[in-house]
Structure 1
Amino acid sequence: MRKIVIGAAAVATLLAAWFAPDQDGGVVGPAAATTREAAPVSAAQAPVAAATPPASAAPPADNGIDLQIHPRVADDEMGNVFAKQSWAPETPKKIMMDQAQAQQTAQQSNAPAGPPALPFQFMGRFTDEGKTVYFLQIDGQNVVARPGEKVNDSYLLDSISGDTMNFIYLPLNQKQTLVVGDTN
């Protein structure tokens, strides 16, 4: 079976080569630079040519090739397909400065701000002889907390009810809760 498939492919290749059109001109080489020869200018064409030289015409090079540079006009209206496209802001420094100004105005205003988000992460609990101790993590440090005790300078563990821990933010005397899950 393999020999039949290879033979059929060889026959198809030979037929394609036999019936392919002939090439005109042979192998095409790289483009060659041509020089412009000065054509005789009639008297009617001379003043027009001299009066309107191209704005960005370059002088002819030493080898006799005349190069002209023309500015792009139509492409600029279409836009750049390969331009950097992003949802990120272009001026992060300005945004950071605006955020800093907003924070300063918030601090200067007399309206009391709400308490910050709880900095605690619940790690677990331990119950021994009816006394439950709660383990929290604050800024990478492990802390043992009991109801009615200050957890750090700003928080007091007020009470535990079911799967929530109730804290009081002492500077504003506002309550906050931390969901810890069911007891095992």
Structure 2
Amino acid sequence: MTGAGAPSGRRTLWLGVALLASLLAAQWVSGEDGTADLEQVKEEATPRKQAPTAEIRSSSENARENELLRLDRLERRKFSTQAGDIFRAQSWAPPPPPQSEAEKNQPPPPPPLQFKYLGKIIEGEETQVFLALAERNYIVKPGEKINSQYRLDEVNDHAIIVTYLPLNAKQMLATAPVGEIR
């Protein structure tokens, strides 16, 4: 029976030694003694007496302290009133040039044309243009409206002239010359 119990006893002994070593290592790494906490608790529990009067230091003590600290070598922090908002977004890009009065009073430009030119059919004197916008295809003749925002004004060999109706602004959609494959 002693043979069967011996390995179990050794294992327990080694586990105990490992536990003790890890506890000592943890205490050593923390750098504190267990008694320091008890002393602090005792000090906090006892009420502290306040000094009856504040001590006034003499000017010679202040001068000696200033010599030790060398306060004259310290610089004061300078705050700029021009610093403004220090958390605003900053960019390396140069600021945009100032706009003139004529530029400020101009109406906004129309949005860029999103139409894709698919082709055209000429039957006699009537020309029909095939345009695509996103998922929709349009077949329009000069003078017709597209989505009540655009009007097809003119069709020639090199371009299609369209008017953006809300701003009454003309825009040009370039078409490929005959013989060029897109």
Which bin holds the TM-score, normalised by the shorter protein? Answer: 0.3 to 0.5
* Normalised TM-score (structure 1): 0.40
Q: Which has the larger radius of gyration?
A: 2
**Bigger fraction of residues in helix:** 2
